[in-house]
A and B are shown apart, each in its own frame.
Chain A
Amino acid sequence: GQQVMQIPQYQHVQEGEDFTTYCNSSTTLSNIQWYKQRPGGHPVFLIQLVKSGEVKKQKRLTFQFGEAKKNSSLHITATQTTDVGTYFCVGNDYKLSFGAGTTVTVRA
Chain B
Amino acid sequence: DTEVTQTPKHLVMGMTNKKSLKCEQHMGHRAMYWYKQKAKKPPELMFVYSYEKLSINESVPSRFSPECPNSSLLNLHLHALQPEDSALYLCASSLDRITEAFFGQGTRLTVV
Cβ < 8 Å to A, chain B residues 26-51? 33, 40, 42-45, 48
Interface residue tally of chain A, by bracket?
A: 20 to 34
A25: min CB distance to chain B, Å: 15
Residues 38-69 of chain A: 1 if any B CB is under 8 Å from the residue's CB, otherwise 0? 00011111001000000000000000000000
A42-B106, A43-B90 as given contacts; A96 in contact with B42, CB under 8 Å: no
B105: min CB distance to chain A, Å: 5
Interface residue tally of chain B, by bracket?
A: 20 to 34
Chain A residues lying within 8 Å of B48, measured Cβ to Cβ, are 94-96
- Is the CB–CB distance between B45 and A48 below 8 Å? no
Given contacts A31-B98, A43-B101, A96-B48, 9 further A-B pairs with CB under 8 A are A42-B103, A43-B90, A43-B92, A45-B100, A92-B98, A94-B48, A95-B58, A96-B92, A96-B97
Q: Write 15 A-B pairs (CB below 8 A) sorted by A numbering.
A: A31-B98, A33-B100, A41-B105, A42-B103, A44-B103, A48-B99, A94-B97, A95-B45, A96-B33, A96-B92, A96-B94, A96-B97, A96-B101, A98-B43, A99-B42
B residues adjacent to A (C-beta < 8 A): 33, 40, 42-45, 48, 56, 58, 90, 92, 94, 97-106
